[in-house]
Structure 1
Amino acid sequence: MSAQSDGQVADAVSGNWVDTLAPRSTRPYLRLSRADRPIGTWLLLLPCWWGLMLAIASAPSTAALFDAWIFAGCAVGAFLMRGAGCTWNDITDRDLDGAVARTASRPIPSGQVSVKGALGWMVIQALVALCILLTFNWAAIALGVASCLLVCIYPFAKRFTWWPQVFLGLAFNWGALLAWTAHTGSLSLAPVLLYLGGISWTLFYDTIYAHQDREDDALIGIKSTARLFGGHTKWWLRLFLMATVCLLGAGAVVALLPLQNPLSLVIGILGVWAMGWHLAWQLIQLDIDDSDTCMRLFRSNRNAGLIPTLFFAVAALV
């Protein structure tokens, strides 16, 4: 009750910077953007860095400063677009969120932010992100604009399909295509394979996440892979784990094999396998009936996604 009376959100990270350092008047809007829950920004950003690092490795460029800008621009853009997407999600889900224990404390259902205020905040975040996008090449700009359609559709997916996690994966891993294109100027097979592997990864981690709300979702008719899989969840997660490793590994091979540098190729593949072992560890730890464990494992996917990022970066240096 004390957390709720101060406007804190139930599933926020304890002692986060929004609740402790941000000016009080900005806190409801930052909570609306999930700035107090940074894991979503990481999960949106990491596929961008996968695409960028493999693009640098496969197509070296003398424009190191611009690559550094792509790297930083993706980070800021991920924060902004994740915030805009979450704001849109909370606008569309405001009635549903009020009926779920974990989400009832969010800014709109709890009355901290009006729908009109939320719409204005969403537009501001999207416009600033657009300013960053416009510094990239035209092909990357087109991909960035196209991603908005996926962002708009996702909040409604859980109303009409048992697989809303697929729509989340389509949106959250778009950065692999965009960052690759920002460096190379065009798409190819390697980033598409990264994109598909990222979608499978999203199915893995977001199914774990959705098990926290399984009972409430059943009461209000919300669909999810957690409800669909039920007691067979671990079997499905093993499939997603294998698909993730195979697709990301294939993307690394397609990007790095033409370099004829065995060390670079081995490093890239090792990064994907190391991520696979992290996902296997999550699967061993998973108890779908323990919400705290589900949240802890969901958040651990930041580290899982950082593993291939670091290995791909070393492969690019090699």
Structure 2
Amino acid sequence: MRKISMLTGLMASLLAAPAIAQDLEVVGRPHQGGLGFQPAATELARDLQWLDGMLLIIITAITLLVVALMVFAFIRFNRRANPTPASFTHNTPIEVAWTIGPIIILVVIGAFSLPVLFKQQEIPEGDVVIKVTGYQWYWGYEYVGEDLAYDSYMIGQPYTLASEDEEAGARPYVFNDAMEAKLVSAGYSKDDWLLATDTSVVVPVGATVVMQVTGADVIHSWTIPAFGVKQDAVPGRIAELWFNAEREGVYFGQCSELCGISHAYMPITVKVVSQEAYDAWLAASQEDGGYVDVRQFLANS
């Protein structure tokens, strides 16, 4: 009965999509000339960004100290100021200081960085488990325990262009008016060119998501910067990462391991939605192979 209701709702959504479809906010996107991190959408990302800031303070302090000591030595011990150099070869207090000092710094860094590393590597039980496989040059997703698996290609790859797209002037890997129209019809903007995919990973907000990552041919790497996650996809091995997205929206990533000629055209799109929208999308996608647009369920969630 629930499936019938879902399918009925899907048909109604398809007919009324322009009227009720709601687009998600794009949160995790690179920006032209950007120097900082993307907004952190998980606890892991916040921890990593805080750790990066702390290390930057330590590195800056060390650099300033070294520069100050060098300037002091240049002024105090140059030939004019010190024409008769000393003949000693050892200074025990200084040698002890430059041995103990770095040890203390490394202990402090380890005390803060190791807990972050352990939090990343200790994989919790997932509310949603997805197996992701890297191919040359697209991603395959399988929702473990659910009857759902599909592939994800960058919009603009030949596989994503239908005959009507080509008749409208769309060409593989070429951004023009026809390609922009195709992006807009899929719910993206021209700023998402080379980032948007024809299908997305859809997960519920606030859920623990475990990704089982592997490769089918060469080494790829699955990463979403706003989540603070990155894991190499190695053929013959399965590695895991996890995240718990705290904010609904669209997040982008890229394959981060050089994997061949089309490595640059292997983006990742994750859409974080409400639990209600996710449940409706999952039920409809199980009937349609994952190609149901989750936007159809957002207006009613």
TM-score, normalized by length of structure 1? 0.22
Higher strand share: 2
* Higher-helix-fraction structure: 1
TM-score relative to the length of structure 2: 0.22
The structure with the largest alpha-carbon Rg is 2
Higher relative contact order (CA 8 A, sep 6+): 2
